A and B are shown apart, each in its own frame.
Chain A
């Protein structure tokens, strides 16, 4: 049983995305206003609008629970907006608002899983209502919107004399509890589109501000042409929140006017419209006015499916390659005519395609601030509980990285920030005792460094106790050599190893020692690194380094025979040529190269891969010292082509039967000139040696 209105599945992604975005923004506003201690008029209006939008779209999806919760929140701000001087418990208000925002976020996460039932927010709503009541004090009860009722309904206005006989008229009334009948009505109309042609509705414009009130008062009148009136009626009756749906008949003018439907308590739409208009005039600036602004509050941003972007990127890459092959086609050389104008246009074209490539790449870039902002909330919540009063500061939050990296960063950042606040920063008493006067601060910074994104989290807390870490590591059996031989770096690295936590007590936020090693693994999975540094009494720094783009890697391309092979530069330590005296051939036929007191196994790429090559003499080729983990070896190639950036794609699945990966090839890449280079997997190649890094 799906949780939302049938036919809305396609909208789910959009709904989750947009609502998530709105809630994120709401959090930001709340956080800011909480800090500033005042809520400006603009903020109130913005929060009000946000809640209104969430309420509307949730109602559209048929998510009654989210809609009513949003409605309750909206009510709170309705009161504040109405009377900016109203007295209320600020802390209490923010607690409620954050709790509601979290509940909504949680519900969003659960939406796509049909096994999790819709959460019941009644308790939270009760609290909000109680709070609202408290704010209002014993002030006037909710305005009685119901205009004069009890009038006998005159249906004749619904049926103009010249109306076609085939047009049927239906009336749908909604339950009292229905938050946004206009949105519900809109969904109904959409559904009707499949079985009937809707000619008109009353109210005519469901987007209009007063549509909700009008429908509540009079029901929704739908005029349509259909072949199957019964089916239409059933459909209408099945709509969410629909109390009653019925077909209205044109009153017989000659018959008694009493011959109408049982629904007689509501005033005619015209009257209601008039009443609303009067109300508008009488009370400018109440309900209707600010609502009008809501739908127009669109930003100049659009949401694009990442898949489409990838397609676009592929296409652009293809254009760049094709352009290269057109402008440098060998056929042109054979022509033997002057190509001045052609060359000029070709240069122009190249400039344009380069620009095109750059701008497509830049579409995927987003500032890291989106990931940083979320930490504001984490720190705020922890401050509430731990009473540490930590300030969170950002540096370089404008740094732009690939969207996929920001997605990866969210989790690790959360863990590291929590750790910094929980473990890193001392309690105010401890800080006072240590004579620290500066406010406790956690700084998140971002920047680029040699083709990598560097994100670090720095705290000015107690720092790590080397002795304590060592003792703990010993206790957990993590030591592999005598204690005295450990460098500071190695000691601190224990803190991000599996099953390690120096915190005696496990707190709500951290201390189980599972977090950091998972973080480390996740970062390593995408080719990144997690580093720790610390100084007693000064603080600790956790640094995440992730390659700028996950698909583009720096490689050193070398030639072996006819082939171009690319070694990822992360594995390359040194490139050198060697003299005969540094070359060793042992009686077993193993080859070694001496490099500064190290004896390194030599792997000839030509022999390793069985590529025929002319270069056999060790002095004529080029040697590349590579390390991967503990292993190191020297690769021998004919010559260096260049160091460059390539996009390595795995081999075609059609070749899955062959052990290419095991042989040390991670994939292949098409270069700018259309030729193919093979990406090497140094780890696999080094497996063949069994050699140690140092001997």
Chain B
């Protein structure tokens, strides 16, 4: 997926991101992509879907798909803890939930911290370098829709 105007703006001016934690690494979404962060709800299994889609959940009266972030990134499976939660992202006005190990923080990012990923249309759009850690900023659409 090509860079949207929003991505360009982020690269130039910086902005807020929601960072989260999975398998000892930091990832993040642009805060503008995120609509809710909720506890893990009851997830209804939908047959025939690939294993990384846990199923559907009832989010504010709508049934939306839930993606297991670890499974999606081919990380080893662990049991959900009380810190696991669902980050609800919006893609073209359709929502999807992404189960992550734990949400870390909402962070202000300045342009000099941002490096664009050399892979055009990859799952990671930007790498963000902070003093002690590196955060991969993800494209929610690529996380939810596996186009590979």
Question: Would you call B44 and A675 a contact (CB within 8 A)?
Answer: yes
Q: Which residue of chain B is the closest to A605 with respect to CB atoms?
A: B47
Question: Would you call B65 and A670 a contact (CB within 8 A)?
Answer: no
Segment of B30-38, B50-58, B122-130 engaged in the interface with chain A? B50-58
Question: Would you call A652 and B64 a contact (CB within 8 A)?
Answer: yes
- From residue A309, how far is it (CB to closest CB) to chain B in Å? 16
Residues 649 to 695 of chain A near chain B (Cβ within 8 Å): 649, 651-655, 657-660, 663, 665, 668-670, 674-676, 678
Question: Would you call B96 and A318 a contact (CB within 8 A)?
Answer: no
B79 touches A (CB below 8 Å): no
Question: Would you call A654 and B65 a contact (CB within 8 A)?
Answer: yes
Question: Would you call A665 and B45 a contact (CB within 8 A)?
Answer: no
- From residue A291, how far is it (CB to closest CB) to chain B in Å? 49
Question: Would you call B91 and A610 a contact (CB within 8 A)?
Answer: no
**Complex: how many Å from CA A655 to CA B52?**
12
A609 touches B (CB below 8 Å): yes
B144 touches A (CB below 8 Å): yes
A residues in contact with B63, CB < 8 Å: 649, 651-652, 668-670, 676
**Complex: how many Å from CA A523 to CA B95?**
33
B residues in contact with A659, CB < 8 Å: 48
**Complex: how many Å from CA A658 to CA B146?**
10
Q: Which residue of chain A is the closest to B43 with respect to CB atoms?
A: A676
B residues in contact with A563, CB < 8 Å: 44-45, 47
Known: A611-B47, A665-B46, A676-B44. A670 touches B61 (CB 8 A): yes
Question: Would you call B61 and A318 a contact (CB within 8 A)?
Answer: yes
Q: Which residue of chain A is the closest to B91 with respect to CB atoms?
A: A654
Question: Would you call B58 and A321 a contact (CB within 8 A)?
Answer: yes
A residues in contact with B58, CB < 8 Å: 321, 670, 674-676
Question: Would you call A652 and B49 a contact (CB within 8 A)?
Answer: no
Question: Would you call B44 and A660 a contact (CB within 8 A)?
Answer: no
A residues in contact with B133, CB < 8 Å: none
- From residue A667, how far is it (CB to closest CB) to chain B in Å? 8
Question: Would you call A655 and B65 a contact (CB within 8 A)?
Answer: yes
| Residues of B in contact, count (CB < 8 Å) | 27
B42 touches A (CB below 8 Å): yes
Known: A318-B60, A321-B58, A654-B145. A668 touches B46 (CB 8 A): yes
B residues in contact with A675, CB < 8 Å: 42, 44, 58
Known: A563-B47, A668-B44. A314 touches B145 (CB 8 A): no
A198 touches B (CB below 8 Å): no
Question: Would you call B94 and A678 a contact (CB within 8 A)?
Answer: no
- From residue A543, how far is it (CB to closest CB) to chain B in Å? 36
Known: A652-B65, A653-B94, A654-B91. A660 touches B60 (CB 8 A): no
A residues in contact with B144, CB < 8 Å: 654
**Complex: how many Å from CA A251 to CA B32?**
63
Interface, chain A (partner B; CB < 8 A): 314, 317-318, 321, 562-564, 609-611, 649, 651-655, 657-660, 663, 665, 668-670, 674-676, 678
**24 A–B contacts from the bound complex (CB under 8 Å):** A314-B61, A321-B58, A563-B47, A564-B44, A610-B48, A651-B56, A652-B65, A653-B92, A653-B94, A654-B144, A654-B145, A655-B53, A657-B147, A658-B48, A658-B49, A659-B48, A660-B48, A665-B48, A668-B44, A668-B46, A669-B63, A674-B42, A675-B42, A676-B44
